[in-house]
Structure 1
Amino acid sequence: MAQTGTPVISSLKKIVGWNAAILLVGLLGGELIFGSWLKGGGLGTVHVPRDLNLQHDVSEIRPDGGIVRYSRDRWGLRGSHQSAAAIDILAIGGSTTDELYSDDSETWTFQLEQKFRQAGIPITVGNAGINGHSTIGHIYSLENWLLRVPNLQPKIILFYIGINDAVLPADGSYDAIVPANGWGKFRRYAINNSAVIRLIRVVRGSILASELRLAYRAWAPTPLKPVAPPAIHRKLYIKRLSTYRQRVLRLIQLAVERGATPILVTQRRGDAHSRNGILFARSAEAAKVHELQRLFNQEMLSACRSKGAVCVDLASEINLTYQDFFDSMHTNPAGSEKIAEYLFSVLKPLTAPVNLDGKPHADSRSSHR
């Protein structure tokens, strides 16, 4: 019996071996044809979401519910642009710029673009927001990611920053986009170039959306109450504020080196705000974070003014209410529309044809507009 079984086993091994070889050749051929291994350029070992076209249900996060489309191009940018060369204004920020739970047509960057076009100004706005990034991550992005995008030469780089720097640790480990070790770099390089892995990522799109949802926490829209301003002593945050200032200055430098006008915009939260000298907050903790955010906004404006850059104090000027947010910091489409309208009024003078030369408009260098 052993003798009669041996040829059968041998034949099975040959069949399995040939099938495995054919599969391997097919995979290698597919990788060479559809992958990016031999095309040059690419993102190398940089870790950013890209080649995404997600359809996900936001009903658990947003009261209006429904399915929204979240897409990023092959270079990791959101927006209506057909090529990076078409981008005039590049917005850089964290999740408040990324806007995972807003449809491609609902983000403040897209709505800003539409306002320009409705005014007869053919401006294209690209979105380089990355979930969770602080200014540490934005510096990484400019130094390691965005410089790899072919023909990306925005006239304006708009930094919508501050919220994450005020509340997250300062070590930067959470928003690094370049792996620290050899294995991590190889793994990221394979993910960025493999056609098979790209296909798997598309199939797992709904899972990815579910994982990203962890960064958001929906709330019941209830009015904020007047509270006593908490005592926030600046001297306790000197080191964090100082390092934040240095990062802001570095962002300005990087934008100028790319031939772009840097525009820095302060941020405000949805769980607390000041009006007519009165602080309104959802809780004592929200009031404390608001006051800390105010210190970071002041530091950013100071650094911005010191370089003669364009400084926009959106946090103090915009009329956002608790109803414009779906959680403590992320705006819903109505809130994003207000941001777009406000920024349009500020940026319109900068984007006249005579000013699309990478130089700030003379009347726009202030802490407010």
Structure 2
Amino acid sequence: MRTSFLKIILTNSAFFFLFIFLSELFLGNWLKISPVQTIPNALYKVSEKYDGSHLYNLKEPFIINYSRNKDGYRISGSSNNKKNILTIGGSTTDQRYVSDGETFQDYIYKYLKGEFNIINGGVDGQSTLGHIYSIERWHSKTLNKKNIDTILFLIGVNDIKFVSSEQNKLYINMDDLSIVSRIRFFISNRSFIYKKLKTLKNKFTLSNDKVKKLEIGHGAKLNYINNNQLKEYITLEKYNDNSTNYYYYLFKKLLLTTKEIFPKAKILVVQQQDPKCKFNNQLEFVPTINNYELAGKSWDKQDVISYCQSLGNIFRIQENVLNESDNFKNVTKVRMFIDYPVPKNGFYDGLHTNKIGSKFIADYLFKFIKE
């Protein structure tokens, strides 16, 4: 009897809250929705503090200051400056655990002596699929198209899931645009009740100084192979056209969409460096680690080799798209994965850079931006 009564209460409570949420969705048109609120995993109007001591293997707290404005951007520069460079990518562009003022965008801004604002539009976990959605639904709505001089894409790693079902299992799809995901993100950004419950949760879970815990996906454990052993390069396997056609058209759509919406902007496609895979050229690589652990999942050497194979094929597909049409002659390709400009001490895990790595990236990209 008691169990049945409890079920009735829980069922009615669920229907009550569902009714409230639906009422807010369909009757709450007076609430204003920012374009960035429709982008999965994008943050806006935040000023957070993170303790990065675990990432950086420090015994004392290491406070990281992270902020985004009302439009969802980290801005290096002044609101009065009408010349802008927009950077788009995933977590390696976002740099959640690098403090404001120490990102690669901040360094580039200083190198350009304030001539351009550098707009950080990175979204943790976002792939080319999400970049297209962001170009169409976010950047085109919030930015003055005439004032965007250059758009820089730092991409590669998050696209692996499009060419390898095996590697796809290792990733959470952070730019899932399914109906269920859209409804979930829509509710999380629009519901008054949801926001109040989240505020109450943060009040009890965060410490007094509002320092947040680190999120899953950062802080991997790995050991690099001795440089003397990095001699035998592996030849990249030929990819299956049938399994990679989707990414081929996805990347092509990204470029065409960008050119259509920002016709005057220069486009830089930066094929990002992954410290786990050292490429000798476009067809040869060597894994730099034997094993790897991230978010509770362990990779052995064969997993790393498979990963590098997929990453190399992503860059080959990009190359094919860029070479096939005169439409992309003005797109600059930057082979960062071959040049390998960031040293080992520039990463705090198997992919993400610290402030040392940020400066190396800025030094490397600056010459391409100035061309």
Taking structure 1 as reference, are residues 132 and 45 closer, same or farther at Cα in structure 2, changes over 3 Å only?
closer
Matched, 1:282 2:281: no
Distance in 2 of aligned mates of 1:202 and 1:214: 18
- For structure 1, list consecutive stretches of 5 or more residues without a partner in the other structure: 1-34, 350-369
Q: 1:212-231 residue pairs with structure 2 within 5 A?
A: 213-219=215-221, 222-224=224-226, 225-226=229-230, 228-230=232-234
3-state secondary structure, aligned to 1:242: helix
Taking structure 1 as reference, are residues 85 and 113 closer, same or farther at Cα in structure 2, changes over 3 Å only?
closer
Distance in 2 of aligned mates of 1:214 and 1:192: 27
Distance in 2 of aligned mates of 1:201 and 1:80: 32
Residue of structure 1 in register with 2:359 after alignment = 337
Residue of structure 2 in register with 1:72 after alignment = 68
- Cα shift at 1:94: 0.6
* TM-score relative to the length of structure 2: 0.71
Matched, 1:57 2:51: yes
Aligned length: 310
- Cα shift at 1:132: 0.8
Matched, 1:242 2:236: no
Quick check: 2:66–2:96 contact (8 Å CA) kept in 1? yes
Matched, 1:134 2:137: no
Distance in 2 of aligned mates of 1:183 and 1:334: 39
Quick check: 2:88–2:151 contact (8 Å CA) kept in 1? yes
- Cα shift at 1:81: 4.3
Distance in 1 of aligned mates of 2:244 and 2:74: 30
- Cα shift at 1:174: 1.6
User: Who wins on radius of gyration, i.e. which is larger?
Assistant: 1
**Residue 237 of structure 2 aligns to which amino acid in structure 1?**
H
- Cα shift at 1:201: 8.6
Taking structure 1 as reference, are residues 38 and 134 closer, same or farther at Cα in structure 2, changes over 3 Å only?
closer
Residue of structure 1 in register with 2:318 after alignment = 300
Matched, 1:187 2:187: yes
Q: 1:4-83 residue pairs with structure 2 within 5 A?
A: 37=30, 43=36, 45-47=38-40, 48-63=42-57, 66-83=62-79
- Cα shift at 1:177: 6.4
Distance in 2 of aligned mates of 1:192 and 1:142: 28
Residue of structure 2 in register with 1:362 after alignment = none
Taking structure 1 as reference, are residues 92 and 44 closer, same or farther at Cα in structure 2, changes over 3 Å only?
closer
3-state secondary structure, aligned to 1:187: helix
- Cα shift at 1:296: 1.4
Q: 1:144-183 residue pairs with structure 2 within 5 A?
A: 144-151=137-144, 153-167=147-161, 169=168, 174-176=173-175, 180-181=179-180, 183=183
Residue of structure 2 in register with 1:102 after alignment = 98
Residue of structure 1 in register with 2:107 after alignment = 111
Distance in 1 of aligned mates of 2:323 and 2:131: 20
Distance in 2 of aligned mates of 1:192 and 1:140: 26
Taking structure 1 as reference, are residues 56 and 180 closer, same or farther at Cα in structure 2, changes over 3 Å only?
same
3-state secondary structure, aligned to 1:265: strand
Distance in 1 of aligned mates of 2:172 and 2:363: 34
Quick check: 1:305–1:311 contact (8 Å CA) kept in 2? no
3-state secondary structure, aligned to 1:62: coil
Structure 1, 288-297 or 98-107: larger mean CA deviation: 288-297
Distance in 2 of aligned mates of 1:201 and 1:130: 24
3-state secondary structure, aligned to 2:75: coil
* TM-score relative to the length of structure 1: 0.71
More strand by share: 2
Matched, 1:123 2:125: no
Quick check: 2:285–2:308 contact (8 Å CA) kept in 1? no
More helix by share: 1
- Cα shift at 1:194: 8.9
**Residue 315 of structure 1 aligns to which amino acid in structure 2?**
F
Distance in 2 of aligned mates of 1:154 and 1:97: 18
RMSD (CA atoms): 3.6
**Residue 69 of structure 1 aligns to which amino acid in structure 2?**
N
Distance in 2 of aligned mates of 1:316 and 1:292: 15
- Cα shift at 1:60: 0.4
Quick check: 1:54–1:70 contact (8 Å CA) kept in 2? yes
Deviations 1:85-106 (A, max 9, x none): 7461111101111111111122
**Residue 106 of structure 2 aligns to which amino acid in structure 1?**
F
Taking structure 1 as reference, are residues 111 and 228 closer, same or farther at Cα in structure 2, changes over 3 Å only?
same
- For structure 2, list consecutive stretches of 5 or more residues without a partner in the other structure: 1-27, 162-166, 291-300
